[in-house]
């Protein structure tokens, strides 16, 4: 079945550091890929998405590129801020059927000033 | 727009008690779903619905019932709570496009003693 594997956390960085959170997936066909972010005490909100191979999703300085050849969707940001501290989830969704989101286990990111 | 709302925010139950978690959305979304979030496991789909009167099981449906009598509401029922159901529950909604964004509610933190 479909699955998503994320880089294990927690990850702790200093402000203005470069961030990479790895995400790889297993799925047949061409799923859509997502990064969701969960700030403390809140629900999940969409950070970015990509719907086909080589698409790049971007938002709030974060980027991720849909790489079908490596089945990856790594999240990157050039200079993190304290306000980026949150839990980040990689997920995939199929275009047909249940259209459910299959999530990775989440990566907790803490940014120190 | 209130988006996706959930009540209650917190709940403590004793083993064997029943309760209903409420979820409502005002975006006229056809697709609604319930997830549970457990540490280190990401979010897992419990039940979903593609429209009023239509529901189906997700990945972890045992111990939970749902119904969808209106487009707006999608309650989740625990008939006889068990400690294994201690979790954070999120409701989500979206339109039925496969790559469309799911919008999450703020969550209900449930503890079963």
B95 touches B86 (CB < 8 A): no
- How many Å lie between the alpha carbon of A109 and the closest alpha carbon of chain B? 14
- How many Å lie between the alpha carbon of B99 and the closest alpha carbon of chain A? 6
Q: Which of A44, A38, A42, A36 is nearest to A62 (CA)?
A: A36
Q: Is A5 touching B (CB cutoff 8 A)?
A: no
pLDDT in tens, chain A (113 residues): 889 999 878 999 999 999 999 999 999 888 999 999 999 888 899 999 999 999 999 999 999 999 999 999 999 999 999 999 999 999 998 766 667 889 999 999 999 99
Residues 6+ apart with CB under 8 A from B46: B33, B34, B35, B36, B58, B59, B60, B61, B64, B66, B76, B89
Neighbours of A1 (CB within 10 A): 7
SS3 B24: strand
Q: Which of A55, A42, A35, A37 is nearest to A101 (CA)?
A: A35
Which residues in chain A have Cβ-Cβ distances shorter than 8 Å to B95?
Answer: none
Asked if B90's CB is within 8 angstroms of A100's CB, the reply is no
- CA dist B13 and B3 (Å) reads 27
> What's phi and psi for B55, nearest 5 deg?
-135, 160
∠ CA B27-A41-A89, rounded to 5°: 75
User: What is the tens place of the pLDDT at every residue in A24-41?
Assistant: 999 988 899 999 999 988
SS3 A82: helix
Give the strand order in the sheet containing B64-66. Answer: B4-7, B19-25, B76-78, B64-66
Q: Is B57 touching A (CB cutoff 8 A)?
A: no
pLDDT for B4: 95
pLDDT for B98: 61
Q: Which of A29, A30, A42, A28 is nearest to A89 (CA)?
A: A42
> What's phi and psi for A60, nearest 5 deg?
55, 30
């Amino acid at each position: 079945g479909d699955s998503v594997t994320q880089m294990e956390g927690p990850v702790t960085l200093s402000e203005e550091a470069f961030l990479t959170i790895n995400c790889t997936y297993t799925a047949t066909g061409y799923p859509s890929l997502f990064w969701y972010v969960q700030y403390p005490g809140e629900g999940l909100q969409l950070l970015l998405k990509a719907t086909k191979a080589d698409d790049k999703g971007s938002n709030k300085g974060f980027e991720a590129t849909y790489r079908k050849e490596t089945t990856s969707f790594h999240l990157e940001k050039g200079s993190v801020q304290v306000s980026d501290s949150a839990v980040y989830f990689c997920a995939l969704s199929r275009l047909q059927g249940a259209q459910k989101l299959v999530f990775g286990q989440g990566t907790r990111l803490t940014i120190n000033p | 727009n209130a988006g996706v709302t959930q009540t209650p925010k917190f709940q403590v139950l004793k083993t064997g008690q029943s309760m209903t978690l409420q979820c409502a959305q005002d975006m006229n979304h056809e697709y609604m779903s319930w997830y549970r979030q457990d540490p280190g496991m990401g979010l897992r789909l419990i039940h979903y619905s593609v429209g009023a009167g239509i529901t189906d099981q997700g990945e972890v449906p045992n111990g939970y019932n749902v119904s969808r009598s209106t487009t707006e509401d999608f309650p989740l029922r625990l008939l006889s709570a068990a400690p294994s159901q201690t979790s954070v529950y999120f409701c989500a909604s979206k339109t039925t496009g496969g790559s469309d964004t799911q919008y999450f509610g703020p969550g209900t933190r449930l503890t079963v003693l």
